[in-house]
Amino acid sequence: MLTAEIRRRFLAHFENAGHTAVPSAPLLFDDPNLLFVNAGMVPFKPYFLGQETPLWDRAVSVQKCVRTGDIEEVGKTTRHGTFFQMCGNFSFGDYFKAGAIEFAWTLITGSVDDGGFGFDPDKVWVTVLHSDDEARQLWKDIAGLPDERIQSRGLLDNYWQMGVPGPGGPASEIYIDRGPEFGPDGGPIVDEDRFLEIWNLVFMQEEITNVTAKDKFDVVGPLPQENIDTGMGLERVAYLLQGKTNMYEIDEVFPVIEKASEITGRKYGADPIDDVRFRVIADHVRSGLMLMGDGVTPGNEARGYVLRRLLRRAVRSMRLLGYEDPALPQLLPVSLDRMKASYPELEADFPRIEKIAYAEEDAFRQTLGKGTQIFESAASAIKNTGGSSLPGDQAFALHDTYGFPIDLTLEMAAEQGLTVDEDGFRALMTEQRARAKADAKSKKGAHADTSIYRSTLDAGGPTEWLAYSTLTTESR
């Protein structure tokens, strides 16, 4: 079943049940806590927070999402894309737990001829919050699930909240058992590879306050109206229904891997390290396309930096596969070709998008050309003298003189079995920023102070700054 068909079925299933289809919001959304929209509920937040009243009681959407926090997972797990599409149904004070469970169950186990996904009911496992007896009972009554396939989870895993006083409630997640060849069976769902999480149902039922952690808050009392928010990963369902073992091999993504394989002459499926590179390439090219389509341009701050990093990682992965010519002109049109059915606006906009992408690749090729030599000789000098860590001043010089972002230096060092003195690097960055600030002050520049973004990027390295987009709704 093609991804576009799964999307169509999802929308039809809920439209037939009185939901209004709401188009995806752009990836850039006006929310101070988010770099990009990272869940289907983000555009509906004002309704859930009671700040606005929706025009409908029931809505359904397929929302474009970017989760920069998942970048390191791409290609290594079977299920994480930086860009993905979250299918969701929403109830604003209308149906609650029973409705949400019934709608999800009938869609995933409904027969293919009747518009369903046709999953074998015996392969479906779910989790509920340990105290949510109601949801447990509903899974038994509605779906006939046996107790052992309804697993209890704690607040950390199965409680949804936004990290601020406001709505909260238990979640119930749906997993598909991919079979014994993917991991041990029975017992608690520990193996997230064998048991693939496809759908998260959130039951917003209470108002919470004094939120200090994901699992530390006080319950004020029931919400004036109970709401439903769900998110089903379109790519994850697609990979299962297309008989693949990961989301990078679905119809919307795989052709980029094929193209990369064709032009590099390397075979996909022959070497595990190369395979991760192929998947990173296909994922990042697609995410880059979607971000540029929504108006992001490469830059050194916040959103632009995420795009820059994605495009550069794709290009560098092509290099690691032995391809030194400009790669994006070969790959981006392939991704467009797969995505334009669902996002026709990309095609008209493509001349603009490709210009941005190819210019970014050119600039990066120049950076790489100069910096790589310097890096290589530094790395071999260190190894020759028995060292194992690149000094902070050298990482700083690569950054300052050759435009190497620290995450690139870290990645390249790791490939050589070296670490980087990040503390030393950061100290030098801080000094430099202090100098720049003093400088700007004396010039009384009228520019907005964006140094906060930059300093978060540099100080945090590749993991902490990515947490930017995880501040609120991610990993529910």
Residue numbers at the binding site for ligand ATP (CB under 6 A): 67, 70, 79-81, 84, 86, 197-200, 231-233, 235-236, 474-476
Smallest distance, ligand ATP to C-beta of residue 236, A: 5
The binder of 86, among ligand ATP, Mg ion, none, by C-beta within 5 to 8 A per type, is ligand ATP
Nearer to ligand ATP, 199 or 402 (CB): 199
Question: 75 or 405, CB closer to ligand ATP?
Answer: 75
Q: 71 vs 408, which CB is nearer to Mg ion?
A: 71
DSSP conformation class of 121: G
Q: How far is the CB of 70 from ligand ATP (least distance, A)?
A: 4
Please state the closest distance from residue 132 (CB atom) to ligand ATP, in A: 16
Q: Which does 198 bind (CB under 5 to 8 A by kind): ligand ATP, Mg ion, none?
A: ligand ATP
Q: Where are the alpha helices (DSSP H) in 294-421?
A: 302-320, 328-339, 345-384, 392-402, 406-415
Distances (CA, A) of 275 to 77, 281, 315: 12, 10, 15
Separation of alpha carbons 99 and 93, rounded Å: 12
Give least dist CB 196 to Mg ion, A. 10
Q: Which of 89, 200, 261, 469 binds Mg ion (CB under 5 A)?
A: 200
* Cβ distance to Mg ion smaller for residue 174 or 318: 174
Q: Whole-angstrom Cα distance, residue 374 to residue 151?
A: 53
Which residues, at least 6 apart from 250, have a Cβ–Cβ distance to it below 8 Å?
3, 235, 238, 239, 242, 244
Nearer to ligand ATP, 232 or 321 (CB): 232
Cβ proximity to ligand ATP, 193 vs 301, nearer residue: 193
Site string for Mg ion, 66-85 (x = CB under 5 A): --------------------
The contact pattern for Mg ion, residues 456-475, with x = CB under 5 A and - = no contact, is -------------------x
Closer of 70 and 274 to ligand ATP (Cβ): 70
- Smallest distance from the beta carbon of 69 to Mg ion, in angstroms? 7
- The interface region with Mg ion, picked from 137-145, 200-208, 345-353, 388-396 by CB under 5 A, is 200-208
Size of the site for Mg ion (CB under 5 A): 3
- As measured in angstroms, the least distance from the Cβ of 277 to ligand ATP is 18
Q: Which long-range contacts (CB under 8 A, 24 or more apart) does 206-214 make?
A: 206/167, 206/168, 206/169, 207/165, 207/166, 207/167, 207/168, 208/161, 208/165, 208/166, 208/167, 208/168, 209/165, 210/165, 211/161, 211/163, 211/164, 211/165, 214/155, 214/156, 214/159, 214/161, 214/163
Q: Which stretch binds Mg ion (CB under 5 A): 51-59, 191-199, 419-427, 450-458?
A: 191-199
**Which residues on neighbouring strands pair with residue 360, listed in sequence order?**
none
CA distances in angstroms from 322 to 126, 274, 285, 417, listed in the order given: 44, 10, 18, 20
81 binds, among Mg ion, ligand ATP, none (CB under 5 to 8 A by kind): ligand ATP
The vertex-108 CA angle with 287 and 74, nearest 5°, equals 25
Q: Are 235 and 171 in contact (CB under 8 A)?
A: no
CB of 92 or CB of 248, closer to ligand ATP: 248
79 binds, among ligand ATP, Mg ion, none (CB under 5 to 8 A by kind): ligand ATP
CB of residue 81 to ligand ATP, shortest distance in Å: 4
Q: Which does 454 bind (CB under 5 to 8 A by kind): Mg ion, ligand ATP, none?
A: none
- The one of Mg ion, ligand ATP, none whose footprint includes residue 233, by CB under 5 to 8 A per kind, is ligand ATP
DSSP code per residue over 394-448: HHHHHHHHH---HHHHHHHHHHTT-EE-HHHHHHHHHHHHHHHHHHHHHHT--S-
Q: Note the helical H segments in 272-301.
A: 272-293
Q: Which residue is nearest to ligand ATP (CB)?
A: 233
131 and 170 Cβ atoms separated by less than 8 Å: yes
Amino acid identity, position 31: D
Decide: 142 and 100 in contact? Cβ < 8 Å.
no
Contact positions toward Mg ion, by CB under 5 A?
197, 200, 475
